[in-house]
Amino acid sequence: MALLDQWREVAYSTKADPVELNKFWERYFDIEKGVYQILLENPEEVVSGTVKELSERFNINLMAMVGFLDGINDSLKIPNPIEEMEEDTQVQLGFDLELLYKNMVAAKADWLYNLPQWDKLLSSERRQELYKEQKSSGTVVKGAKIGRNDPCPCGSGKKYKRCCGR
């Protein structure tokens, strides 16, 4: 079984005790926060190595590293092959700074997008812009409702009820 499948089996288990699963996620979020603090101290450095090497470098267990790689993959300039990842798979953490911030906002991970390291990397104005961009990207805006006696939007000149409204 690939590492990612093992991670997801544990992290998203429907059979696990909800209290224990909640504790699991609290521990993981602390680990994740620590790794991001390290990465954001030097964002130009593209950290790379095998999954096992990175888990040792960040002093976290292998499954937590797999979870971290799963979470950051959408923010990477070059995504890692996480689906078939094993301990000796080469991975890299070259992330797009603004995309990472927006993905943290999308995940509602305020413990990550409010890290003090962001102050040195993005201005507060830019962070606000990115925050608003991300929040508005998920907002659905409905168009004006067409009344039955309004002209049909197809341009036929007929009333909507006599044209496309049938």
Q: Which of 32, 118, 104 is nearest to 69 (CA)?
A: 32
pLDDT band at 138 (very low <50, low <70, confident <90, very high): confident
The percentage of the chain sitting over the pLDDT mark of 90, rounded to a whole number, equals 83
pLDDT score at 166: 81
What does the alpha-carbon distance between residue 136 and residue 128 come to, in Å, rounded to a whole number? Answer: 12
- Tens of pLDDT, residue by residue over 74-120, are 999 999 999 999 999 999 999 999 999 999 999 999 999 999 999 99
pLDDT score at 127: 95
The mean of the pLDDT values for the chain is 92
- Tens of pLDDT, residue by residue over 22-54, are 999 999 999 999 999 999 999 999 999 999 999
Average pLDDT over residues 120-127: 94
pLDDT score at 22: 93
pLDDT score at 130: 94
Q: Kindly report whether the global pTM for this prediction surpasses the value 0.85.
A: no
